Structure 1
Amino acid sequence: MKVVLQKVSQAKVTSGNIQNEINQGYLLLVGIGESSTYSDAEVLAKKIAKTRIFEDENGKMNLDIHQVNGEILSISQFTIYASVKKGNRPGFSNAKRPEEALKIYEYFNEQLESYNINVKTGEFGAHMDVSLTNDGPITIIFESKEGNIQ
């Protein structure tokens, strides 16, 4: 399982009539791979909830999302598992099938919420328009395999 975290001052997702937005917090692009498990979702949620990348009074990245009352906008994105080794068109066979991926994605978001974080989402499997203001810019890639942070 891979998560691309972007620290944002604002982010918004629109899909048809559905719209969600946050102010300060994280935009998460969540990829569920063929071998991704519920254990991966648990360890990544815990790691992200405790990550300290917000500035304290001395300008050091020392505060977590709770300490700044931040929110999360979580977007499913199977293209994170694209293979570009052959040809010019990416292959997506490394991504978990949608029915199974949805369950792990929802579980991941529930795990984030269990850390008392307000989590908003896009629409799983839909075409979405995502906009954000990357704060920093700070972008970090989190990955877990077999329940272990990589």
Structure 2
Amino acid sequence: MLVDMTAMAPTSTAPDLSYLLDHTSHALRTRMAAALAEIGLTARMHCVLVHALEEERTQIQLAEIGDMDKTTMVVTVDALEKAGLAERRPSSTDRRARIIAVTEEGARVAGRSQEIVDRVHREALAAMPGDEREIFLRAMNRLVTGHLATPVENPQPVRRARQRAK
């Protein structure tokens, strides 16, 4: 006997928050990737340039900020070096450590990429009326700093989106 599968499917009693956040995050990332590609950067390259300009940081520190594994970070810095936007140098405070230093051209490109990132964010938020935008941003910040601030331990690793620098 075959069972009518649609009759067995549970009915959700709450909005699908996972879908809403995942879908909008994915759509925003694709818009960001397309916009940054116009100047030859990826979101990871932008992240490394901007955070390396803030202060002297090692490749490991930048990988943590950008939530990149070692291999991805190496590939990203290699691409930045090849483009003449950054270079690996000895740290001024720890001779054993190497930092990622941004070149003059890299700083110029980082300024342009930050303008692009800001524009993409503005465009996304402009889809909402001003009062809703403020409420949305307050609510998202409350989730990010409150209930959803820290992932829970899980035996099955879950891929995590890039985190905001602390």
Output the TM-score relative to the length of structure 1. 0.29
Greater strand content: 1
The TM-score, its normalising length taken from structure 2, stands at 0.26
Larger radius of gyration: 2
